[in-house]
Chains A and B, each alone.
Chain A
Amino acid sequence: MSSSFRHSFDIIGPIMIGPSSSHTAGAARIGRIARNLFGEEPEIAEILLYGSFAKTYRGHGTDVALVAGLLNFPTHDNRIPKSLQIAKESGIAVTFKPGPPNPDYHPNTVRIKLSKGERKFEMLGVSIGGGAVEILEIDGFKVKMTGQYPTLVIPHADRFGVIAAVTTILSKHQLNISFMEVSRRGRGSEALMLISTDEQPPAEAVAEIQLLEAVKRVSSIEAS
């Protein structure tokens, strides 16, 4: 059994603005994770929708919800219905397109490309039902992140000792690691570390990791 749903509040919940947990709440969560990984408000958001997302996104408010997430709104935020307008006013250029059909993708899949100036970011997310989500790609790295636990996402240089340095900082702050994943593009090049912890890491821990030389940046994603 794949335990994508872990406890009562994965089933009863989220508390959300309707109309669809997978197409609205899940979409808002995916958008918000993208926003937090990107770390700031993007100037351009290009959104590719697959499967059921591509077919019914307007009816379910998937577009509205994804953009609400990009604006960092939680699933119960009553500004969600007005997100497209709010994004426009804050100067975010958003486009929606159906993505090229891919039989391997779950029917509720979305690819989000964000940019601001030179900075670019890309993420693939899936809304698996009931508001639960999975992030399957971050900047080309294959990952599996659910956002159920607080998670640190750390792009870094693939060098000896980086992982140990990060986990040392976490243990110093008495954070218990529940899940960890490292993927890399090739030996000695870029790598991406995902670390889920039981408790939300304090800002000091994040700042300390950020200071490590091999670390490019740290995104701290709250559990949702």
Chain B
Amino acid sequence: MRFTNLAEMVAICEQEGKPIYELMIEEHVQETGTTREKVIEQMTESFHVMMQSVERGLTEDIRSFSGLTGGDAKRVYEYAQKGKTLLGKQATEAVAMALSTSEVNAAMGLVVATPTAGSCGILPGVLSSLKQSLGATEEQLVLGMFTAAAVGYVVANNASISGAGGGCQAEVGSATAMAAAAAVELAGGSPTQAIQAAGLALKNVLGLVCDPVAGLVEIPCIIRNGFGSVLALAGADMALAGVRSVIPPDEVILAMYNIGKQMPVELRETALGGLADTPTGRRLEKQIYGDDTKEA
């Protein structure tokens, strides 16, 4: 890869007059020695799996293994069809589709980690919504996935994309930033606007802790995916309108990294703090595992 941060990435894009996804595809071909067609084919396969998981959660009765979650995607989707939503139909549908993928994940169904399984709902939620709002084709949406991948690549290598490493800001936060950048490029925005959207969206999840109830990727993970999709769209809209993050996106990523390091281990996917450690969280945990759960 010829870039290690977002600023370098955008500089190359501007110099060579290409969108982020184009640069990412070229770099991939360079790095791995495969062909452009193969790279796109592989991404298209992931796209299909993503869309299948969206579909599954909206049409089947999904119940997680623990029995704690499932059915919310359908609920929100049906509500959106009635037409009177506060967010507007498309954004509400994005929420439904993000919830849908996450519910399928919790039910040990097939998903694509984007960048992780815990945060697998946000990108499909946003992409499905852009299909509607922009009339984007499958081909275009697949290109948008490379934009998302480029942002994820920078975040993963400079900070973290694991809840255990950096809290939920590293999972849902990274996914939100990735989806925001993809949405901007798909809407015809510039590379600069795309990374601004990523930076703006990421700022809004800084400090988000990873506190899954009973250690399951369900509560609060699924709902956070629903919110993440709207946050990504809002970030994209702000960036497209010309809003810039005063703290440059690369520095937001740095802040995310440092916050992750400062976060106590109880709030990094150990199920020892936060929502996991509420009376209801503990009760559910007992209900699932019985009493002898937490070995030291």
Contact = CB atoms under 8 A, between A and B. Distances in A.
Interface of A: 1-25, 51-52, 54-61, 76, 78, 80-81, 98, 101, 106-108, 127-131, 198
B153 A11 contact: yes
A16 B215 contact: no
B90 interface: no
12 contacts: A8-B146, A11-B115, A12-B148, A21-B117, A22-B162, A52-B270, A56-B212, A58-B215, A81-B108, A98-B296, A107-B270, A130-B116
Contact of A16 (B66, B111, B152): B111
Given A2-B157, A17-B108, A128-B162, A8 B216 contact: no
B24 A8 contact: yes
A11 B149 CA distance: 6
A98 B49 CA distance: 35
B113 A16 contact: yes
- 4 nearest A-B residue pairs (beta carbon): A129-B162, A56-B215, A59-B215, A18-B105
A130 B216 CA distance: 16
B39 interface: yes
B217 A60 contact: yes
A23 B112 CA distance: 14
Interface in B100-116: 104-116
Contact of B117 (A24, A101, A107, A198): A24
Contacts of A51: 164, 265, 270
Contacts of B64: 19
A3 B45 CA distance: 25
A57 B149 CA distance: 28
A106 B161 CA distance: 14
A185 B141 CA distance: 52
A134 B49 CA distance: 26
B110 A56 contact: no
A20 B117 contact: yes
Interface in B197-238: 212, 214-218
Interface string B263-276: 00100111110000
A144 to B, nearest CB: 16
B217 A12 contact: no
Contacts of A59: 66, 212, 214-217, 271, 288
B216 A60 contact: yes
B165 to A, nearest CB: 6
B167 to A, nearest CB: 12
Given A8-B43, A13-B112, A56-B215, A1 B4 contact: yes
Contacts of B49: 15
Contacts of B109: 17-18
A54 B295 contact: yes
Contacts, number: 196
A18 B104 contact: yes
Nearest to B24: A8
B172 interface: no
Contacts of B16: none
B184 interface: no
A60 B217 CA distance: 7
Contact of B216 (A1, A10, A19, A128): A19
A25 B110 CA distance: 11
A12 B268 CA distance: 22
A9 B163 CA distance: 19
B161 A19 contact: no
B215 A7 contact: no
Contact of A5 (B33, B148, B157, B294): B157
Interface in B145-163: 145-146, 148-150, 152-153, 156-158, 160-163
A8 B265 contact: no
Given A21-B116, A21-B118, A198-B33, A10 B156 contact: yes
B106 A19 contact: yes
Contacts of B272: 55
Contacts of A3: 1, 157
Nearest to B296: A98
Interface in B1-39: 1, 4, 24-25, 27-28, 31-33, 39
B138 to A, nearest CB: 15
A23 B214 CA distance: 14
B176 to A, nearest CB: 14
B170 interface: yes
Nearest to B47: A12
B46 interface: yes
Contact of A61 (B32, B108, B111, B269): B108
Given A59-B271, A80-B108, A21 B113 contact: yes
Given A6-B31, A81-B108, A130-B113, 10 more contacts: A7-B27, A9-B149, A11-B115, A12-B46, A13-B113, A18-B217, A19-B108, A23-B269, A98-B295, A107-B270
